[in-house]
Structure 1
Amino acid sequence: MLEITALTWVLTIVLIIALLAVDLIMAAVRPHRVGFAEASAWSVAYVLVAILFGVWFSMQYGGQFGTEYFAGYIVEKSLSVDNLFVFVIIMTTFAVPEAHQHKVLTFGIVLALIMRAIFIAVGAALLSLFSFMFLVFGLLLIYTAVQLFRHRDEDPDVENNAVVNAARRFLPVSDDYVGGKLVTRIDGRRVVTPMFIVLIAIGSVDLLFALDSIPAVFGVTAEPYIVFTANAFALLGLRALFFLVKGLLERLVYLSTGLSLILVFIGVKLILHWLHVDIDERVPEIPTSISLAVIIAVLVVVTVASLIKTRRDPSAKAHPGSLRAHRSPVDAPDHQDR
């Protein structure tokens, strides 16, 4: 059992808030197009911070907990790359100016952190009270993996998002971004800008990703502190990673397949843990070290295979995948004719 003092929790949260504050201040004070060099520097800095934290954590609390942290971090980082696909789609769908994309991403990450913190607290409480929740989480991940694999060549339907549609229906929206403001006045009337709608779209999508990522990381560790820090450090680097690799994302054609395999693996791991705890102690469990090796191996294989595929077939294009099928109005008549 990992014993984390209240002071350690407070200092960790302060560190994360401080890093977020830097992003928020930069986005608000100096809106600009983030170039490759800047994105590279920030990406390396965030990865180094996550690694240094992991090294300190391993030295302070032992190698086993350190391995769980790094495994959780890699799981969340790999799932967050799928987040980037959706962010790209949202930015394109709503034509967000490049100068304001930094701000959108930062606020999106803040929303994601808040929602994931809530899910972590709820998930930890459920797991401590009801051991069968390991079975529930495992089945949820396997179901998600199957749906993601079935619709791996699709993009999520951002414009038909129920929350976004409701916001458009009940709130007056301006025609342009008005300098990146969320709310403004036009002809004496207070209206929201498209930036407000974009943040709602990102927030609602983040909610769906939290439903998958939190059970996934609980499959690696049952320690709430590790779950929180793995999520936080993975998300903190997401803003810089977006600008660094958004041009390369379309080449990761097998990423959704790889994520499906990882979710199935972690789902099976959770179910085996439930069987070991509640049914029969002779049921084997999958060690965290093996989980870490499998996750890294899957990510390496799908990345290399994707690059080979797109090199041989430049027309091949990656998709983030969707948890449900959807039809566009243009496609609907064709399907009906069939």
Structure 2
Amino acid sequence: MTGTPLMWSLFATFVFVALLVDFFALRKQGAHQVTIREAAIWSLIWVAVSFIFVGWMWWHLGGMNPDPALRAVANDKSLEFITGYLVEKALAVDNIFVFLMLFTYFAVPADYQKRVLMIGILGALVLRAIMIFVGAWAISRFHWTLYVFGAFLVFTGIKMWWAAGQEPDLESNPALKWIRRHMRIAPNYDGERLTTVVEGVRMATPLAVVVILIGIVDVIFAVDSIPAIFAITTDTFIVLTSNVFAILGLRAMYFLLAGMHERFHLLSYGLALVLLLIGTKMLLIDVYKIPVVWSLGATLGILAATMILSLLIPPKGSAHRGAYPFARKREAGDKRE
């Protein structure tokens, strides 16, 4: 484990300052539609911040030390971070497509999407940190947990492969059905507010419903992605830091890729193969430990191949069709809604 008190403190400070700058920028800009240029700039900033951090970690662990043993540790840990970061970024693409489906289904105005994603990312950071520490504790106490994670990733990869290209049915989603039964939901948006008053009754706005569903979606995806990074390393510090830095750039990546989901229609197949690869790696951990550099190379190769094939092979149809404003789906008999 590489996480010393100093490293944990600097990491926490690093993330706090980054979020503070992001919040300040969000408040100064106000509600507005994010352009491709703005999303690209912020994506580059978050990637640069992540590599500045891993560069500092490499130096701190002895990357420039004359002792070859310390240099080897620094190189290995840095490579684990980069591989974990890449895997989390790749798996986050599926989050992006689901976010796009939610925004389309609820007809969320483009000006409000940035705020929704910011709240969702903060919730994701907290929930993932809890899940990572629980997972690390389970692995340290029960080695067989690794096999459970590996089998789960293989199963998820197969399931993702068969589900790729199919149109999601949000209307039958149990979480949405539960929200409709237990919450009073206003028929229209009220700016960026999460609650509003309709005829003297306090209600949640559709924006609040989207925030809740995004939180649920992230928990579901975390169940897939967190075991995947434990297959790369069981170092809690590396697992958490690579996960957090991947999540911090998720909002900018959404606005950068949201308009490209049709072009990379085969990417889900690539992500399924990555999960199968990582799950197999975890199942073989006591038989043969696949080098991290091989995992990194295979992940890059699979993702690059599916993206190139997506551009060469035209899609048969959109995976996210049909915009259904929330008010349109209101059931006449549901008076609580």
Q: How would you bin the TM-score normalised by the shorter chain?
A: 0.7 to 0.9
Q: Deviation of residue 308 (structure 1)?
A: 1.0
5+ residue gaps, structure 2, are: 62-73, 321-337
Contact kept? 2:2, 2:237, Cα under 8 Å: no
Per the alignment, residue 133 of structure 2 pairs with 121
CA distance 1:254–1:160, change in 2 (3 Å): same
User: Scaled by the length of structure 2, what TM-score is found?
Assistant: 0.87
Per the alignment, residue 302 of structure 2 pairs with 298
Q: Deviation of residue 235 (structure 1)?
A: 1.0
Q: 1 CA distance for matches of 2:126 and 2:166?
A: 28
CA distance 1:140–1:253, change in 2 (3 Å): same
Listed one character per residue, the Cα deviations across residues 85-139 of structure 1 (whole Å, up to 9, x for unaligned) are: 0010010000000110001111111122121111101100000001101100000
Per the alignment, residue 230 of structure 2 pairs with 218
Per the alignment, residue 6 of structure 1 pairs with 5
Q: 1 CA distance for matches of 2:10 and 2:190?
A: 38
Q: Deviation of residue 28 (structure 1)?
A: 4.7
Contact kept? 1:68, 1:221, Cα under 8 Å: yes
Per the alignment, residue 48 of structure 2 pairs with 48
Aligned: 1:103 with 2:115: yes
Q: 2 CA distance for matches of 1:173 and 1:114?
A: 26
Listed one character per residue, the Cα deviations across residues 135-182 of structure 1 (whole Å, up to 9, x for unaligned) are: 000000000001111111124333332222212212111121101101
Q: How well do the aligned residues superpose, as a CA RMSD in angstroms?
A: 1.6
Contact kept? 1:251, 1:307, Cα under 8 Å: yes
Q: Deviation of residue 319 (structure 1)?
A: 3.8
Aligned: 1:193 with 2:205: yes
Contact kept? 1:28, 1:103, Cα under 8 Å: no
CA distance 1:140–1:158, change in 2 (3 Å): same
Q: Which moved more, 1:116-125 or 1:57-66?
A: 57-66
**Identity over aligned pairs, percent:** 39
Per the alignment, residue 239 of structure 1 pairs with 251
Listed one character per residue, the Cα deviations across residues 75-94 of structure 1 (whole Å, up to 9, x for unaligned) are: 00000011110010010000
Contact kept? 1:252, 1:318, Cα under 8 Å: no
Aligned: 1:32 with 2:32: yes
AA at the equivalent of 2:50: A
Superposition pairs for residues 130-149 of structure 1, below 5 Å?
130-149=142-161
Per the alignment, residue 262 of structure 2 pairs with 250
Contact kept? 2:106, 2:210, Cα under 8 Å: yes
AA at the equivalent of 1:95: A
Contact kept? 2:124, 2:218, Cα under 8 Å: yes
Q: Deviation of residue 317 (structure 1)?
A: 4.2
Listed one character per residue, the Cα deviations across residues 1-41 of structure 1 (whole Å, up to 9, x for unaligned) are: x3322232132123223323333444455110111221111
Q: 2 CA distance for matches of 1:42 and 1:155?
A: 30
Q: 2 CA distance for matches of 1:129 and 1:318?
A: 45
AA at the equivalent of 1:112: A
> Paired residues, what number?
307
Q: 2 CA distance for matches of 1:187 and 1:25?
A: 35
Q: Deviation of residue 185 (structure 1)?
A: 2.0
Superposition pairs for residues 44-83 of structure 1, below 5 Å?
44-61=44-61, 62-83=74-95
Listed one character per residue, the Cα deviations across residues 28-56 of structure 1 (whole Å, up to 9, x for unaligned) are: 55110111221111011011111111222
Aligned: 1:17 with 2:16: yes
Per the alignment, residue 284 of structure 1 pairs with 288
Contact kept? 1:256, 1:319, Cα under 8 Å: no
Per the alignment, residue 328 of structure 2 pairs with none
Q: 1 CA distance for matches of 2:226 and 2:25?
A: 29
Per the alignment, residue 71 of structure 2 pairs with none
Secondary structure in 1 matching 2:209: helix
User: Scaled by the length of structure 1, what TM-score is found?
Assistant: 0.87
